[in-house]
Amino acid sequence: MPALRFPLRALLSRARPPTARLLLALHAPLIVSGRLVAAPAALTSLVSLYVRGPASLHQTIPLLLLPPSIPLPCFNAALSLPHDLALQVFRSLRLAHSPDAFSFPPLLTSSRSPPHLLALHALEIRYGLAHDLFCASAMLRACLRFGLADHAHRLFDELTDRDVVVWNAMVNGFAKLGCFDRALECFREMREDGAVEISSFTVTGILSVCTATADFWRGAAIHGLLVKSAFDMEASVCNALIDLYGKCHHVENAAKVFEGIRDTDKDLYSWNSMMSALQYSADHVGTLRLFARIRRVAVWPDAVTIAGVLRACAQTAALQVGREVHGYIVTSGLGRDGSLDVFACNALTDMYAKSGGLDEAHHVFYRMRQRDVAS
């Protein structure tokens, strides 16, 4: 058994999904040796690998769960399948076991409609799991994903215990739904409750509300709170602050936050957020300088970066820089197989047209796989 357990665990820890050939090569000796039935841990690992594997093999998973005495973790591992297959597994699970707190969250995440969601909630109540925090946070996220804001609020009010995950589900869910007042109210209640500490996920959620409403003063107040709590050192929080200040036209504040991040800690989103802040202030020369820095620190630009710098080239008629960016797109393979989106292609066409390169603009336009009205 140890010889087989090691590769299964090693594969589960890899980010790359397993191939069909590898899965079948692992599956065959487990069947021949009889360990597939004798070792529940091996079966659970195998099911988890099949879930991550090619979609063509997903139909195999319900067949793996047919032998008698299949433990509950094996069923739970299969519930991350696409929704229709997951429901098939869930029906088999209910015939063999009572669902636990790990059974419902995958189904809630993949649920496709409010009626399905409410049916799952009824089952949670039946099995006494409606107030389990793991299930509750998944249910709240699913409710807010479908726009059931009032239902989510009622469920939240019924919870006797609330952890930071539950609070974050409410703050971020309302923010994504556009219920900014409710998100701010939840954040205020969370701070007044005092039972849980805010996390970086809480902070980025509430900063997204300030950004969407262009509420500079509230955002600045939250920034002060972050400095006191030492959250201002985290890259994700700094990126959210740059985005906030940029969209509120306070590019100096955005630049201070950006320069406060060490270059080794800056990710591509940091550079793109700062580029966006410069664009909001129409600092096209600053945008070109920032792009030069991106190339010096060996960060690989994406389509968002490319679209931003091309807009700056168009506004400053920097045809030579624009051609260099176009060359980068070609040599890096960024535009291969349609990976360069329509916005970046439009920016490239616009740059050539405004810089006097009409033939090149014409060439890019007719090579676009997709065109919108702006094209």
What does the pLDDT look like over 301-345, one tens digit per residue? Answer: 888 888 888 888 888 888 888 888 888 877 776 665 445 667 778
- pLDDT of 43: 80
Question: Is residue 210 classed exposed, middle or buried when 0-12, 13-18 and 19+ CB atoms within 10 A define those classes?
Answer: buried
Residue 52 pLDDT class (50, 70, 90 cuts): confident
Cα–Cα distance for residue pair 41/38, rounded to 1 Å: 9
Enumerate the domain spans of the chain.
1-96, 282-375
Q: Tell whether the model's pLDDT for residue 138 goes beyond 80.
A: yes
Total Cβ atoms within 10 A of residue 119: 13
Residue whose entry in the numeric block shows the structure tokens 């009824």: 122
- pLDDT of 1: 42
pTM for this prediction = 0.80
Q: Tell whether the model's pLDDT for residue 140 goes beyond 60.
A: yes
Residue-wise pLDDT for 214-271, tens only, equals 999 999 999 998 988 888 888 899 999 999 999 999 999 999 999 999 878 899 999 9
* For residues 81-102, average pLDDT: 91
Cα–Cα distance for residue pair 317/324, rounded to 1 Å: 13
Total Cβ atoms within 10 A of residue 154: 11
Any residues with CB less than 8 A from the CB of 255 and at least 6 apart, and which?
Answer: 274, 277
Instruction: Give the distance, in angstroms, between the CA of residue 269 and the centroid of all CA atoms in the same chain.
Output: 13
